[in-house]
Amino acid sequence: MDIVLLVLDTQRADRLSCYGYERRTSPALDALAADGTRFAGATAPAQWTVPAHASIFTGLYPSQHTMHQMDSVLPRDLSTLAQRLSNAGYLTAGFSQNPLIGLVKNDLDRGFSRFESYHLLSNILLTTRLNRPDARPPARKRLEHSLRWLLAESVGYSTETPLRRLAPVLAPIWQRFLELQGRSKIDSTRKLLQAASRLLIEREGCRPEQPIFVFVNLMGAHVPYDPDRRLLQRFLPAGQLLQSNAALLRWANRLQIDVHNWIAQPLPPHRQQRLNAIYDAEVATQDAQVGAFLDRLQTAGRYDDTLLTVVADHGDHLGDKDRVNHAFGVYQALVHVPLIIRDPGRHSMRGCVRHDPVSTRRIFHTLLAAAGAASPKEEAFALTNPGGDGEPAADEGTVFSEGFPLEWAIGRLRAEKAHYVKETGQTQPVRAVREGRHKLIAGAGLRELYDLGEDGKEMEELQMVLPGRATELQQMLDDFVRRARPAAGAETRVEDDPRVLQQLRELGYLE
């Protein structure tokens, strides 16, 4: 049996029709959910790409795998999902639109026998095999390094070099390049999914009867925004003129990429409506392409021989809690994610909805169990089995999320919002524990209790109403922090590579 793990980067659960959204954004995923199991209480262990993927790939929480920062490296002693499946006889292949997975030298591509990056900048300026041996002459490598540094500095990313004086001239050119990147996203998504389906169907490089594990990361819901124009027009408020879409998208992309907007950013209702429309159109655009991918598998007769897992690494703030982007916090907008599993070997799971809280870190255990490669302890944590999510001694239905602040973003925020950063404790980690319907958030100057059964958007804080419950959940969170020790081999930081820094800036990960 083949295994496909499809990660929808930055996809909120509450913007999919099968999760109750009133707009029809996801007919393909709705059909998949009806044919599989939908997990209504799926929770991401972290609020951004690197730690969330590391948890999916290792089955550990961020405090254990230690992948907290942009330049973190996966501890050398940890075995990844791809390594384990490769050892079990699978051909392992990755296809990613996010440069943080597969391009950055953080070892998240460990265990993949092949890994392909689908990103405009990587295809024009960068290699797609940065983690592999580079046979180019040292002189050529130094020249490429210098040219990429020159490009980064000249478009105004530095405030410390004379090249910043060129920014007024070159920044508009760079902005046009970013718009081109957004427009290329639809095309690169199509090419990526075609390549992934071609491997599953044609099985090039496979031994006879060898199963395949395919990991896919799609950035349809991530900036830069530029959805299908027909879908954007469908979701925009009535009266919005089509010719103004270009300016609208430029505004939304600047809002999401500029770190100074990320916190303390109340949006007027009309801007909130427009941002929602853009995001919804991106979701619908991506859903159509995922549907075409699933159709290809069905037409080729591979669909019923493939375990399909669709999940988001995290969500996104779209004005919720006066925030945009996903750098800070563990509110539901960031950690409540979609999770759908279609296991062709388990007919009893089709059309089911699981409402108990589960952590997406358990995808690691689930896929190993499906491949017959899980230990008895790992088998017990498979999502195809009932059971708890904490350590073996933890209560059933308890999940945790950890939001470690990004150091570079804090540094940039201090320049313009130092008072806010100090007052709200944004330099400290914030964590959440959910047991049953209740969720407690603590850290970074916060301590908030919510009843997610009645208040899924976390509008009414309940500490004063339920002080005993808040104390009980705080004890669970304290116990988790004491128990979640770093894995052996946790080490320092990845080497900065200008060939990748350009991509990260363009996606809003760096300034």
CATH number at residue 90: 3.40.720.10
Neighbour count for residue 163 (Cβ, 10 Å) = 18
Whether residue 181 is predicted with pLDDT greater than 70 in this model: the reply is no
Q: Say if 25 falls within a structural domain.
A: yes
In a domain, 147, yes or no: no
C-alpha–C-alpha distance, residues 340 and 446, integer Å: 32
pLDDT bucket at 384, cuts 50 / 70 / 90: confident
Would 6 be classed as within a structural domain? yes
**Is residue 91's pLDDT more than 90?**
yes
Q: Which ranges constitute the DSSP H helices of 381-497?
A: 407-424, 467-483
Model confidence at 418, in pLDDT bands (50, 70, 90)? confident
Which are the contacts of 253, defined by CB distance < 8 A and separation ≥ 6?
178, 182, 223, 224, 225
Q: Which residue range forms the structural domain that includes residue 472?
A: 2-138+179-223+287-506
Condensed to tens digits (0 to 9), the pLDDT of residues 152-172 reads: 444 444 444 455 455 555 555
* Mean pLDDT of the residues in the chain: 84
Q: 431 in a domain, yes or no?
A: yes
Is 72 inside any structural domain? yes
Categorize the per-residue pLDDT at 131 as very low, low, confident or very high, splitting at 50, 70 and 90.
very low
pLDDT of residue 172: 56
Helix (H, G, I), strand (E, B) or coil at 144: helix
Beta strands at 306-311 and 2-8: parallel, antiparallel or unpaired: parallel
- pLDDT at position 388 is 45
Number of domain units in the chain = 1
Two tokens at 128?
């797609």
Residue 146 domain flag: no
Top-confidence residue, 83 or 495: 83
Residue 86 lies in a domain: yes
Closest by CA to 314, choosing from 64, 117, 100, is 100
For residue 150, tell me if it sits in a domain: no
What is the model's pLDDT at position 474?
Answer: 97
Least confident span in 61-75, 212-226, 442-456, 485-499? 485-499
User: Looking at residue 148, what is its pLDDT?
Assistant: 47
Average pLDDT score over residue span 216-228? 94
| Res 157: pLDDT | 40
Residue 348 has pLDDT above 70, yes or no: no
Task: Give residue 132's pLDDT.
Answer: 36
What is the rounded average pLDDT of the residues 93-116?
92
Mean local confidence (pLDDT), 262-276: 90
More confident residue, 264 or 65: 65
Mean pLDDT of 408-433: 79
Confidence of residue 128 (pLDDT cuts 50, 70, 90): very low
Tell me, rounded to whole angstroms, the distance of Cα 355 from its chain centroid: 22
Average pLDDT over residues 432-455: 94
